[in-house]
Amino acid sequence: MLLKDYKNNFTQELSLFYDEQEIESFFFIVMEAFHEMKRVDLALNPNFELDGMQLLQWETVLSQLKEHKPIQYILGETEFYGLPFFVNENTLIPRPETEELVDWIIKENSKDKELKILDIGTGSGCIAISLAKDLPNAKVYAMDVSEKALEIAQKNAKRNKVTVIFLHQSILETEDLLATFDIIVSNPPYVRNLEKEEIKKNVLDYEPHLALFVEDTDALLFYRKISELAVKNLSENGQLFFEINQYLGKEMTDLLGNLKFQNIELRKDIYGNHRMLKGNFQSK
């Protein structure tokens, strides 16, 4: 079958489940993954034919998309901050908002500086690895409670040819980080049960709840613990960066303010939601 004809079939089959734009974007993502062809290459090669084996692969993707499985999990990979990352159901799919957080950290810090960085709750390793790539003189550590997530993160560090020191540890059970860091960053679980209705089916059914949800009654559990550790384990003028729940900007600013962090800055993401926060640590 010609790929251009299969595209019509693919679009029609998915039209009950997704809008046209989304289907088109799935099609091109799969085309690139399977055939290393970009959007224009389809127009340039109208006679590109799928053999029986390739057709079967496309059909497997199609049936999983019908079950709302995220395309990133179907293919087992995605892109973050211009780098390739393996993902599976033990890691969140990296979000564009998190790219903005990484970008903020990179812009605030010089490439020449010998920084010591810790990423808490690293998941796929996307934050730690992209920082290691763009801040080549930094020594990067990354912690996660999930051994299965760390397996993926380790593969990602290798794939992107960077060194990250991984720690299998629960931050909630950590009393001291036993080292001094210049930057501590985290995108911990922050979605409250009361916000579950806002979460799409593909996220709710497939992404790891361990990485997403917190109790309604204690939504800042991870932030409190991490900020308190940061007071003990950040260097003078060290920086604390968080991705945060968009509805808790004020609470987060207060939390850092009460712990005497300086120059606290709350930023919005591309969607206009309060999503990132930074504070500097000064002992006096």
Shortest Å distance, C-beta 222 to ligand GLN: 9
**Residue 202 vs 253, nearer CB to ligand GLN:** 202
Q: What's the CA gap between 68 and 37, in Å, rounded? A: 24
Q: Which residue has the tokens 């005497």?
A: 260
Token code pair at residue 142: 């990354």
DSSP 8-state code for residue 49: B
Could you give the angle at which helices 52-66 and 3-14 cross, rounded to 10 degrees?
Answer: 20
Nearest CB to ligand GLN, comparing residues 115 and 120:
120
Smallest distance, ligand GLN to C-beta of residue 275, A: 8
3-class SS of residue 279: strand
Task: In angstroms, give the least distance from the CB of 121 to ligand GLN.
Answer: 8
Positions that interact with ligand GLN (CB under 6 A): 95, 187-191, 203, 212
Q: Give the number of other CB atoms < 10 A from CB of residue 188.
A: 21
Q: Report the residue number, 173 or 198, with the smaller CB distance to ligand GLN.
A: 198
CB of 179 to ligand GLN, least distance (A): 24
Q: How far apart are the first and last CA of the chain?
A: 70
Residue number with CB closer to ligand GLN (48 or 104): 104
- Give CA–CA dist 130/82, Å, rounded: 9
Residue 59 CB, nearest distance to ligand GLN (Å)?
A: 29
At 203, is the secondary structure helix, strand, or coil?
Answer: helix
What's at 166, amino acid-wise? F
44: left (phi over 0), alpha (psi -120 to 50) or beta: alpha
- 120 near 143, Cβ under 8 Å? yes
Least distance in angstroms from the C-beta of 48 to ligand GLN = 36
Axis-axis angle for helices 96-108, 126-134 (nearest 10): 30
Judged by beta carbon, residue 97 or residue 134, the one nearer ligand GLN is: 97
Nearest-approach distance from CB 244 to ligand GLN, in angstroms: 9
Which CB, 190 or 281, lies closer to ligand GLN?
190
Q: Which is nearer to ligand GLN, 113 or 209 (CB)?
A: 209
Distance CA 228, CA 27 (A): 46
